[in-house]
């Protein structure tokens, strides 16, 4: 399961990094950051990271459940 733990760790770090970048941008707006498309793309990256993490957790749970059901 160490392979899956590595994926979880990478998903968590990417989500934290993107969220931190967005928070920093909102606190200290860049005068050249006037493009709403860039903001939207950043928000989409965060949403995708949340979705990927959620799916990874769901799949890991289903895999463990299948193994336990198979043992019974």
The predicted structure's pLDDT at residue 60: 87
- Give the whole-angstrom CA distance, residue 22 versus residue 9: 20
Model confidence at 5, pLDDT cuts 50, 70, 90, reads: low
The two three-digit tokens of residue 66, written as one number: 């299948």
The predicted structure's pLDDT at residue 62: 92
pLDDT digits over 10-66, tens only?
A: 877 887 888 888 788 778 776 665 667 777 887 888 888 888 888 888 988 999 899
- DSSP secondary-structure letter at 28? S
- DSSP secondary-structure letter at 35? -
Q: Which residue has the tokens 């392979």?
A: 3
The predicted structure's pLDDT at residue 24: 81
The predicted structure's pLDDT at residue 43: 82
Neighbours of 11 (CB within 10 A): 19
For residues 18 and 42, is the Cβ–Cβ distance under 8 A? yes
- DSSP secondary-structure letter at 5? H
């Amino acid at each position: 399961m160490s392979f899956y733990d590595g994926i979880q760790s990478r998903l968590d770090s990417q989500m934290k990094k993107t969220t931190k970048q967005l928070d920093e941008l909102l606190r200290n707006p860049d005068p050249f950051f006037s493009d709403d498309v860039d903001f939207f793309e950043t928000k989409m990256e965060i949403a995708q990271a949340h979705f990927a993490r959620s799916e990874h957790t769901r799949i890991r749970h289903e895999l463990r459940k299948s193994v336990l059901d198979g043992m019974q």
